[in-house]
């Protein structure tokens, strides 16, 4: 079932409510100047938890970005979650990006595995294997795609709402990471990257890579 986008992510409602309440109380009892820092913090919290709807590209071969952010890695490497050689594309999210995570492909979830770990800067390559993370291996008609939510220096909570056996559609919301993080996508080696290092991407609407064209018999 597609997530009914309410503009603000449901994960943020308690934080937004608490920030609003604190701002109002300080404004009433101490005055508007004392409450100004709290109102600024409230604005930050609201922008952090925004969760806008996104349109899918009209391209059947498209593998879409799983998160908003900046491309920090495109490299062939070992996929430690599906035990195969793969093409890894990594998206780094700072605190000003949308942190809702969307499926890059259509498929059935083979496994979901959580790994405790450290909280080093998610912009660093070592974060992929050292930080707290949650890995989804997705079967796309016989082709495997691994999507890994990685916690960062500030992020301390990886949220995932799917389990093995669930099916996902491209662009479908499956999780959220609070306060700065990274998402790694491991693709078959014949997938064709459609982004470059340093490029800014938007979840669902940016084409991350494309499946190799099928060869007719």
Span 182-195, pLDDT tens digits: 899 999 999 999 99
* Residue 158 pLDDT > 70: yes
The Cα–Cα gap between 127 and 152 comes to 8
The Cα–Cα gap between 193 and 160 comes to 26
The Cα–Cα gap between 188 and 52 comes to 30
In this structure, is residue 215 part of a structural domain? no
pLDDT digits (tens, 9 = 90+) for 16-32: 889 899 989 998 888 88
In this structure, is residue 166 part of a structural domain? yes
Rounded to a whole number, what is the distance in angstroms from the first to the last CA of the chain?
Answer: 36
Domain of 185, in residue numbers: 62-210
**55 in Cβ contact with 22 (< 8 Å):** no
Backbone phi and psi for residue 11, each to the nearest 5 degrees, phi listed first: -65, -20
Which residues face 76 on adjacent strands? 87
CATH number at residue 92: 2.70.70.10
**51 in Cβ contact with 16 (< 8 Å):** no
* Residue 162 pLDDT > 90: yes
Mean of pLDDT over the chain: 86
Catalytic residues: 181
The domain tally of the chain equals 2
Which pLDDT does position 1 carry in this prediction? Answer: 41
The sign of the dihedral angle between the CA atoms of 127, 208, 200, 51 is: negative
Q: Within this chain, do residues 43 and 115 fall inside the same structural domain, yes or no?
A: no
**How many other C-beta atoms are found inside a 10 Å radius of the C-beta of residue 77?**
14
Which pLDDT does position 185 carry in this prediction? Answer: 97
In this structure, is residue 2 part of a structural domain? no
Q: Within this chain, do residues 67 and 27 fall inside the same structural domain, yes or no?
A: no
Q: Note the pTM of the prediction, 2 decimals.
A: 0.83
Which pLDDT does position 53 carry in this prediction? Answer: 84
């Amino acid at each position: 079932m597609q997530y009914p986008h309410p503009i603000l992510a449901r994960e943020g409602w308690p934080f937004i409510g608490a920030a609003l309440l604190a701002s109002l109380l300080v404004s009433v009892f101490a005055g508007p100047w004392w409450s100004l820092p709290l109102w600024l913090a409230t604005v930050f919290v609201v922008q952090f938890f925004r969760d806008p709807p996104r349109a899918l590209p009209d391209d059947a071969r498209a593998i879409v970005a799983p998160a908003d952010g900046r491309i920090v890695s495109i490299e062939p490497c070992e996929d430690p979650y599906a035990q195969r050689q793969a093409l890894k594309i990594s998206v780094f999210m700072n605190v000003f990006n949308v942190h809702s995570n969307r499926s890059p492909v259509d498929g059935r979830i083979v496994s979901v595995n959580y790994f405790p770990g450290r909280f080093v800067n998610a912009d660093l390559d070592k974060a992929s294997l050292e930080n707290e993370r949650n890995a989804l291996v997705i079967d796309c008609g016989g082709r495997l795609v691994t999507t890994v939510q990685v916690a960062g220096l500030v992020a301390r909570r990886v949220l995932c709402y799917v389990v093995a056996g669930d099916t996902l559609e491209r662009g479908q919301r499956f999780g959220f990471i609070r306060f700065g993080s990274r998402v790694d996508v491991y693709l078959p080696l014949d997938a064709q990257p459609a982004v470059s290092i340093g490029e800014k991407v938007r979840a669902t609407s940016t084409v991350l890579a494309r499946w190799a064209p099928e060869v007719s018999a």
